[in-house]
Chain A
């Protein structure tokens, strides 16, 4: 159940306002557990996730659920802040310790550059198999609006892309310039393409995160309400049990703002969405 102590955060860890009185509401993490149950992965990942929550504190990490539109597989991410740096590994060091019973987190990595956030990506482990987590770092870019994304592998961090955070309406000119400066979509070829990436049903949000990845573009819609999240579940064909769960609990989640991210390329003259995710905190 949701409580008055809950703090609702977006991907940038800034607090979201409360949209409805908290009485009778539930916490957004129920959507996370529901998705893990649907993928039969809760038994594998609940204990590590609870350990992370115990380490960093309640409502001080951000989870996301991703749907790969080609394989139809779900995957997940947990993102935590790296408070004050703590070199040489920052938050990775205590995470490595508390997650040791379940996963080895980059045992060969000895030091990392300073970073703002750390993301742990994982998917449903094969039955009887061992779960694996992949590490990403998020570092402040040349301007406060830019966040650079690094994938960390045994050889060290590798730049994988960046995100620019903008207000959808006030910064509309910059939003358009950033979206159109794409390596993967030629918007000048078809003016309709912008309506497929800058999705009108999600445009009314608090922040847009225009992203570049090494293999696609990304667009994050931060601060969307539960009805917009329902739209995303329908529009991007999330598994029916997850859609039904969200529909059933819609009224108990209307107090929260969520984040949605789409990753896409142009293919055969239209936009092909590769992955779609949604986020909240726990």
Chain B
């Protein structure tokens, strides 16, 4: 289970690694105009008694954020989240008193996109005149308050030559952490394709920027760049995704996995980093090829296993098969296995899509047992949780539905199955 939970308040806020907000995309997610805060407020009440997430990330920039943002932040602070983060556009945080009010409501972290050292380039990349000026004002306001500025830089062909100076600018402006995102557009236009950067151009400049962060003792995190081209800094690559809070069908589009960039690597089966590295975005491969001259497989310490999303547990003639491979993971659910839509297995997680009678969908996630981690329930070998809820069911109804499934897993977990706890 992810440590972070994203709450999409509207489609106007910035998305991690994106230059534009979702509403600016050709197919904006239909978030609806009437955001209902009650499901999340109810979730906070339940979360307070059994915290599962470290951090909540509130994302928005429209009227719903204005109307509900403070209430959501305060509810999250009281609801067992150790950190509350706000992802909005910087123009909202140029007034020091406004920033102070946001911080007093419980927001401890604010992310700010900074993509160039010169205003014209930054504003062009963001497609918003004045955004650079607003971002600098926002950072200056945060520096005066007890709130952490998390700066993210989207790396494109236009700004790749400025990565180190941009990182330096962010550090001087008080950034506590800098996230470097390789540009990975979904279904890019011709002009968006031109913003992609080949690895041989990106990697050395990114490493210079990382060195600047290291010298300043500022945390640096890398996204959407293959581990193998970064040498020792490959450990900074973060391929995890936060969970998304969806208690209303109007949010489905933002959570649709097919609406996110996809990645692949021809070295996956040979590379030990495959489970912590996404490889190359499809947009990147379409523009530059598979980069076989640049990518190298890190020697495997464990055998590679292909993913299997099947639900079939009988052979072609309808005869039951003895459980093996993924079927053993289905058997862990006992009779409930017939209700899941398969199992997606990686080295670190088993994920089972489930659907409730009212149509609500969610994913049951099993990960290696970690007593230090907050989780919904635990079996002998695993932490058990659920995520990616899409549909009308309340938190309480989902808990009632999934409870017997989890109890069955707890009863069936004899210690013979295991998952990797490293990620």
- Interfacial residues, chain A to chain B (CB-CB below 8 A): 7, 15, 17-21, 167, 169-170, 172, 175-176, 190-196, 198, 200-201, 203-204, 227
Contact = CB atoms under 8 A, between A and B. Distances in A.
Interface string B363-394: 00000000000000000000000000000000
B interface, by DSSP: helix, strand, loop or mixed?
loop
Interface residues of B, number: 30
A15 B342 CA distance: 17
Contacts of A203: 264, 266
16 contacts: A15-B315, A17-B308, A17-B309, A18-B310, A19-B310, A19-B342, A169-B268, A169-B304, A172-B266, A176-B266, A190-B289, A191-B293, A192-B287, A193-B289, A195-B285, A203-B266
Given A191-B293, A201-B262, A20 B311 contact: yes
B128 interface: no
Given A193-B289, A194-B292, A19 B264 contact: no
B342 A195 contact: no
B341 A21 contact: yes
Nearest to A234: B187
A20 B309 CA distance: 9
Contacts of A201: 262, 282
A167 B305 CA distance: 12
B288 A192 contact: yes
Nearest to A187: B289
Contact of B289 (A7, A21, A191): A191
A25 to B, nearest CB: 12
Contacts of A198: 266, 290
A191 B292 contact: yes
Given A17-B312, A18-B312, A198-B266, 4 more contacts: A169-B269, A176-B266, A201-B262, A204-B264
Interface string B290-333: 11110000000000101011111001100000000000000000
A18 B311 contact: yes
Contact of A176 (B262, B268, B292, B315): B292
A203 B279 CA distance: 13
A197 to B, nearest CB: 10
A204 B304 CA distance: 15
A195 B312 contact: no
Given A20-B341, A169-B268, A170-B269, A194 B289 contact: yes
A227 B259 CA distance: 11
A15 B312 CA distance: 11
B258 interface: yes
A201 B270 CA distance: 20
Across the A-B interface, the 7 shortest Cβ-Cβ residue pairs: A17-B310, A200-B285, A195-B289, A169-B269, A192-B289, A200-B282, A17-B312
B228 to A, nearest CB: 14
A198 B264 CA distance: 11
A203 B281 CA distance: 12
Contacts of B312: 17-18
A203 B264 CA distance: 8
B306 A169 contact: yes
B423 to A, nearest CB: 19
Contact of B286 (A170, A195, A227): A195
Contacts of B309: 17, 19
Contacts of B268: 169, 172
A152 to B, nearest CB: 30
Contacts of A20: 311, 341-342
Contacts of B292: 176, 191, 194
A190 B267 CA distance: 20
A17 B308 CA distance: 9
Contacts of A196: 286
Given A18-B311, A191-B292, A172 B285 contact: no
Contact of B290 (A18, A190, A194): A194
A195 B264 CA distance: 11
A272 to B, nearest CB: 16
A173 to B, nearest CB: 8
A17 B287 CA distance: 33
Nearest to A17: B310
Interface in B45-100: none
Contacts of A21: 311, 341
Nearest to B274: A169
